[in-house]
């Protein structure tokens, strides 16, 4: 198999940047290439769609809108709660923690106004335009075990 398609094992390097060019994540900075099973919801659907049909050795610049990345900001996922709920915990803007309810959904403190704390359960990259530099290293057909159980 030479092209990226459903049930291909794909190895790639990527660098993710925001609109200002700041690096948000990269496999090239002290990391190993990312290896994933294509077409099985193991990565952003928008990125997967852009990789479909591409081949090993290709380098790509991919720009994803929020709708094709981590989604648009959903105001329903933001809430204001009384600071007393945090029982004296030291809070600051950017503090992230898991909720005891909502299947342990992560929430980020985005504002502290007097006795009210604003929590945001949107993904931190929701609403952002994402810029990926991708280099496809190899593509191969997945084994039946990998298709059935995922990569291990």
Cβ neighbors of 124 (< 8 A, separation 6 or more) are 70, 108
Spell out the SS3 assignment of the chain.
Answer: CCECCCCEEEEEEEEEECCCCCEEEECCCCCCCEEEECCCCCCCHHHHHHHCCCECCCEEEEEECHHHCCCCCCHHHEEEEEHHHHCCCCCCCCCEEECCCHHHCEEEEEEEECCEEEEECCCCCCCCCEEEEEEEEEEEECCHHHHHHCCC
Using one digit for the tens of pLDDT, what is the confidence trace for 103-149?
557 899 999 999 999 999 999 899 999 999 999 999 999 999 999 98
* pTM, to two decimals: 0.83
3-class secondary structure for 25-53?
EECCCCCCCEEEECCCCCCCHHHHHHHCC
25-57 tens-digit pLDDT: 999 987 899 999 999 988 999 999 999 999 999
What is the structure's pLDDT at 30? 79
Domains and CATH numbers, the chain: 8-70+126-149 (3.10.50.40), 75-120 (2.40.10.330)
* pLDDT, mean of residues 63-90: 92
Residue 100 has pLDDT above 70, yes or no: no
Mean residue pLDDT across the chain: 91
């Amino acid at each position: 198999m030479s092209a990226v398609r459903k049930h291909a094992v794909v190895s790639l390097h990527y660098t993710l940047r925001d609109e200002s060019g700041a690096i948000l994540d990269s496999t090239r900075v002290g990391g190993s290439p990312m290896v994933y099973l294509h077409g099985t919801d193991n990565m952003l659907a928008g990125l997967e769609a852009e990789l479909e049909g591409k081949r090993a050795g290709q380098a790509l610049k991919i720009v994803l809108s929020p709708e094709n990345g981590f989604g648009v900001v959903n105001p329903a996922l933001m809430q204001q709660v009384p600071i007393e709920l945090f029982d004296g915990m030291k809070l600051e803007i950017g503090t992230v923690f898991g909720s005891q309810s909502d299947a342990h959904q992560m929430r980020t403190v985005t504002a502290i106004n007097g006795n009210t704390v604003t929590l945001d359960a949107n993904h931190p990259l929701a609403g952002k335009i994402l810029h990926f530099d991708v280099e496809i290293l190899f593509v191969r057909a997945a084994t039946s075990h990998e298709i059935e159980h995922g990569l291990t």
